[in-house]
Structure 1
Amino acid sequence: MDEKIFELSFEIIGYAGNAKGMAFEAISKAKAGNIDEARALLKESKDEVNKAHKCQTQLIQQEASGNKTDVSVVLIHAQDHLMNTMNYQMLADEIIDIHERLHKLENK
């Protein structure tokens, strides 16, 4: 496996892992009624995913330039982490909205 692909794969894994952790923490904050903190954490989470996307874009551009990317288990794992994190973020966004509505109803 090309060393650059290996390096980018682990960067994707790292950024996606950080992002998923932040999204998980955002849900916890929302559950506790800290909606603004939850939204701020989810924004940070999305910023981390954007960093992962930049790594992914480098791989795509490399392949589009004619440099075939060797697919490895590490690269597949990185892609899996990224996609799962993005799905988790979408759910976290919805869960935060639900908690916000619940807290507003409870505090009427």
Structure 2
Amino acid sequence: MDKKELAMVGFNIVAYSGDARSTLLTLLKEVRAGKFENVDAYLADADENLKLAHNSQTEILTNEAGGEDLDIGFIFVHGQDHLMTTILLRELVQDFIELYKDKYNR
């Protein structure tokens, strides 16, 4: 895999992670306002995009583990940054959902 192909994988990771991030932030606004009816749909959408980003990442990990010498550039590293922060956001949003449910169900 050449540097240009790795950059494209990085762009995919950024795009999928960005879509997941947007969905999660929209969900957070919803639950902050006490709207819980679409939680499962939002989470499913975010999780699907995170899965696609993770699959792209796994492709690169598999290639490197198989002995391929990869010329990783900044775009791929940027994608990794997006993926990891969005995974963290996903975990935090799950906690916020529970906190807001408690607040509105009192």
- SS of the equivalent of 1:36 reads coil
User: C-alpha root-mean-square deviation of aligned residues, in Å?
Assistant: 1.1
**TM-score, normalised by the number of residues in structure 1:** 0.91
Per-residue CA deviations over 1:80-108 (Å, capped at 9, x if unaligned) read 00000000110001001111111101xxx
AA aligned opposite 2:75 = V
Match of 1:35?
Answer: 36
Show structure 2 runs of 5+ residues with no match: none
Count of residues in Structure 1 that have an aligned counterpart in Structure 2: 105
- 2: CA distance between counterparts of 1:39 and 1:54? 22
**Larger RCO: 1 or 2 (CA < 8 Å, sep 6+):** 2
Match of 2:61?
Answer: 60
Structure 1 residue 39: Cα displacement? 3.2
Alignment of 1:17-96 (within 5 A): 17-96=18-97
For the Cα contact (< 8 Å) 1:27–1:38, is it kept in 2? no
For the Cα contact (< 8 Å) 2:6–2:72, is it kept in 1? no
Show structure 1 runs of 5+ residues with no match: none
For the Cα contact (< 8 Å) 1:25–1:38, is it kept in 2? no
Structure 1 residue 38: Cα displacement? 2.5
Q: Calculate percent identity across the aligned residue pairs.
A: 25
- 1: CA distance between counterparts of 2:66 and 2:5? 15
**TM-score, normalised by the number of residues in structure 2:** 0.93
For the Cα contact (< 8 Å) 1:2–1:70, is it kept in 2? yes
AA aligned opposite 1:94 = D
Structure 1 runs of 4+ aligned residues shifted over 6 Å read none
- 1: CA distance between counterparts of 2:4 and 2:62? 16
AA aligned opposite 2:52 = K
